[in-house]
Amino acid sequence: MTDLEIISAIRSGKRETALKELYKEYPKIRTNVLSSGGDEEIARHLFHDSLILLVEKVSDPDFELTAKLTTFLYGINRFLWKNELRKRNRNPELEWKDTLILTADEIGYDEEKEQKMKVLEKVLNQVTERCKKIFELFYFKKESMTEIAKKLEFSSVNSAKTQKYKCMEKAIKLAKQNQLQT
């Protein structure tokens, strides 16, 4: 697949093919991480996080490709690895081949937001299965409320909509509680 094909696959919701293609880069990234003091677990974890950031970035309609997509992916991975090493009070020079040096801004990485999202991930484990399902179908799968109402057997589209916002309200409330605790 070419870079443009990957990008259009991601944008049109055919993420799986794109992810499979990008996953072929894992061995190289793994080697890079392992050679600078990381282990398999960290390598895999960082790689998955990099994929998420890449997909988020690419999904942004304003995204313009300025380098090879894989180079960009390596750049994100390098950034995350450095960030992780810094947390462990180590700061080695990472010399990776074919890698962009990217800043947090360029990647769209914001430590404060990441922390908040960790809380929200926890919150999402606390709402009901039905809420989770509505969120996932609507925001991730981009299904219409009509389809969702049918699929989840709501009596009407309106009651599905109301349920969705009730779920949202609940989640935001839980998030507030959680943030107070931490």
Q: Is there binding between residue 113 and other proteins (CB under 8 A)?
A: yes
Q: Tokens at residue 79, please?
A: 């950034």
Q: Tokens at residue 150, please?
A: 């049918």
CB 43 within 8 A of CB 20: no
Single out the residue of 11, 26, 28, 94 in contact with other proteins (rule: CB under 8 A).
Answer: 26
In angstroms, the CA 54 to CA 117 distance is 17
Residue 66 or 112 with smaller CB distance to other proteins: 112
Residue 95 or 169 with smaller CB distance to other proteins: 169
Cβ neighbors of 30 (< 8 A, separation 6 or more) are 40, 43, 44, 47
Binding site for other proteins (CB under 8 A): 15-16, 19-20, 23, 26, 34, 37-42, 44-45, 48, 51-52, 55-56, 113, 116-118, 120-129, 133, 135-136, 139-141, 151-153, 161-162, 165-166, 168-169, 171-172, 174-175, 181-182
